[in-house]
Amino acid sequence: MPVKKTGKATTTSGGTLMMIGGAEDKANERAVLNTLVKHAGKGRLVVASLASEEPAYQWSTYSRVFKDLGLKDVQHFAADTREDASKPGVLKTFEGATAVFFTGGDQLKITTKLGGTDAYDRILEIYTKEKGLIAGTSAGAAAMGQMMLMSAQAEGSEKHKVRRAFIMARGLGLITDMVIDQHFAQRARIERLLGAIAENPAVLGVGIDEDTAIVHRNECFEVVGSGAVYVADGSSITYTNASEPEHDPTLCLFNVNLHVLCARAKFNVTTREPERPGLIVGER
């Protein structure tokens, strides 16, 4: 017998969240980054390179692109250690900020450096109280959730195994009851996204392709970019072996709803229903 769906909001009330699947176009049409600039507002954009092993390179790349796209005030938030992220002068970087953008790298570096600091509180304030934009690409997108997906060492040949496909860690908590995965089709990550919702069917799994993003505001998100977004809804799951005692079983999962969304398609995270893509003016 199917499990009855229950609608549930999945974000902390606030401004706009933008999660990018990584490898966004920086040289040609730049649809994803143009959309980010559109939602960034007229204030300062802070580029947070906490996740990266090459923060100077990330800053050089994104500051050039954002200024080329018309943003006049772009600042860098870099921190090699948690102590760096907690220095008193850090908050000056966020003065007048209406948007924060997290670069790619290792999402665990974001949470371990930022969690519980004044800088984190300021970012949360920009989002919740000032209705600003919080965006992230790749690891920066994965870190948005209450929980975040991370690759296990065995990712690749044994992704079908329940306990080897991924590990979970605490995220930034900007989204509750949603888990974000990135580089989705390019790195064949469907197994670990399904594994995540098998462990907790209340969680909505969202996989985002490269050069693709979701723009989330209020109860809905819209897809932007050249790839697809995959939404795995586990609320109707009737069986999963994720908690069974068999050692390292292959994942078994019944009655998952899977939606594949292209650019301009929308998804209501409260009703868990997709909306067909809207037409651009001039299209037939």
The catalytic site residues sit at: 138, 183, 210
Cβ–Cβ < 8 Å for 145, 107: no
Distance CA 228, CA 24 (A): 13
Question: What is the sign of the dihedral through the CA atoms of 131, 129, 113 and 141?
Answer: negative
Helix or strand or coil: residue 170?
strand
Question: β-pairing, 220-225 with 253-254?
Answer: unpaired
Closest residue by Cα to residue 100 from 14, 203, 26, 206: 14
Closest residue by Cα to residue 67 from 109, 20, 26, 18: 26
Distance CA 183, CA 202 (A): 23
Angle formed at CA 206 by CA 69 and CA 61, multiple of 5 degrees: 25
Distance CA 134, CA 39 (A): 10
Distance CA 131, CA 125 (A): 8
**Local structure of residue 3 (DSSP, 8 states):** P
For 40: left if phi > 0, alpha if psi spans -120 to 50, otherwise beta; the answer is alpha
The span from the first CA to the last CA of the chain, in angstroms, equals 42
**Local structure of residue 226 (DSSP, 8 states):** S
